[in-house]
């Protein structure tokens, strides 16, 4: 049985591998997309929840400039610490915080952002309610979620390959967690239950995930996400073997040289 607690643990060497491999592989395109969306209206104070190692934080700082105050929060201190070490932006504050109980006053922010994080919240309705609470009138909550794993080719290939290593209990972190919240109707329903009265605008955004070789996405997913925790909980000695098996599967599908796979997510914008 899967350890759902481990789905949320970005600890040990995961933050470093995540930043080095996964951020350029799948997150940078969507980070620029979110930053562009928040810049479409004037803002002076922005909150990011589930900020991870700060790929969106840096994109927002680049686009909005130094006059905009940005608070980047996450429940995982290791991820925040790594994010803060990447770059020193004077208008960015890094703060450990629970998205279900944000330590900020009502109506404090012009925008709340969250990149591929809401899937991990144990109570999304509560998290959405907190985002609503801290938004100023007219403010926007902008977040994205991954589409079904079948629409994300590297993740799908890695997941299928791990059944060869663990045939009796194949790891299902990727379809269960990051790719387990793609139902747009469910998202809209939970936003309504949280107190939002406007209808969300949902746009499906496809992009390409490109790497110099198949080992990069294999390492990114197997060692730079909580999939690593699930593999190690099953058999820690097989982590390298699992990564090599994923590499072979990716090479078979996409080639031995540079690899190029589809990624797809939904971007949700809702106003107060």
Could you write out the DSSP letters of every residue in 195-207? T--SPPEEEEEEE
Residue 17's pLDDT band (cuts 50, 70, 90): confident
What Cα–Cα distance (Å) separates residue 267 from each residue in 38, 68, 74, 107? 12, 23, 20, 23
Mean pLDDT of 68-91: 93
Sheet holding 92-96, edge to edge: 92-96, 69-74, 45-48, 109-115, 135-146, 259-271, 201-211
Q: Is the pLDDT of residue 3 over 90?
A: no
- Mean pLDDT score across all residues of the chain: 94
Selection from 224, 176, 181 nearest residue 202 by Cα: 181
Residue 4's pLDDT band (cuts 50, 70, 90): very low
Which residues, 6 or more positions from 263, have their beta carbon under 8 angstroms from its beta carbon? 26, 29, 146, 151, 152, 153, 154, 206, 207, 208, 209
Tokens representing residue 58 in the block:
């840096």
Residue 16's pLDDT band (cuts 50, 70, 90): confident
> Are 258 and 154 contacting, i.e. CB atoms less than 8 angstroms apart?
no
What Cα–Cα distance (Å) separates residue 250 from each residue in 56, 153, 183? 27, 9, 27
Whole-number pLDDT of residue 13: 59
pLDDT tens for residues 173-226?
999 999 999 999 999 999 999 999 999 999 999 999 999 999 999 999 999 999
Mean pLDDT of 146-168: 98
Whole-number pLDDT of residue 131: 98
> Are 7 and 177 contacting, i.e. CB atoms less than 8 angstroms apart?
yes
pLDDT tens for residues 89-131?
999 999 999 999 999 999 999 999 999 999 999 999 999 999 9
Residue 32's pLDDT band (cuts 50, 70, 90): very high
Sketch out the chain's domains with CATH numbers.
4-271 (3.40.50.150)
Whole-number pLDDT of residue 8: 45
Task: Report the share of the chain in percent with pLDDT over 90.
Answer: 91
Angle at 145 between CA 128 and CA 95, to 5 degrees: 55
Whole-number pLDDT of residue 11: 46
């Amino acid at each position: 049985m899967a350890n759902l607690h481990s789905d949320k643990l970005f600890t040990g060497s995961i933050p470093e591998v995540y930043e080095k491999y996964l951020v350029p592989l799948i997150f940078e395109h969507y980070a620029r997309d979110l930053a562009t969306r928040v810049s479409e209206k004037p803002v002076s104070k922005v909150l990011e929840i589930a900020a991870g190692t700060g790929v969106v934080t840096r994109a927002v700082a680049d686009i909005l400039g130094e006059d905009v105050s940005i608070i980047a929060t996450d429940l995982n201190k290791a991820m925040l610490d790594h994010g803060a070490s990447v770059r020193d932006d004077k208008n960015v504050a890094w703060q450990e915080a629970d998205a279900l109980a944000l330590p900020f006053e009502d109506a404090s922010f012009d925008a709340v952002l969250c990149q591929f994080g809401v899937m991990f919240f144990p109570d999304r309705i509560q998290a959405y309610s907190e985002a609503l609470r801290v938004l100023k009138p007219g403010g926007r909550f902008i977040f994205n979620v991954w589409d079904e794993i079948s629409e994300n080719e590297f993740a799908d290939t890695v997941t299928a390959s791990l059944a060869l290593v663990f045939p009796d209990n194949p790891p299902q972190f990727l379809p269960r967690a990051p790719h387990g919240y793609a139902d747009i109707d469910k998202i809209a329903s939970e936003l309504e239950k949280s107190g939002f009265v406007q209808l969300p605008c949902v746009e499906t955004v496809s992009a390409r995930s490109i790497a110099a070789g198949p080992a990069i996405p294999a390492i990114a997913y197997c060692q730079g996400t909580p999939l690593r925790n699930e593999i190690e909980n099953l058999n820690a000695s097989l982590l390298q073997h699992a990564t090599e098996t994923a590499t072979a599967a990716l090479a078979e599908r996409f080639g031995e040289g540079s690899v190029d796979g589809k990624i797809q997510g939904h971007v949700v914008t809702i106003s107060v």
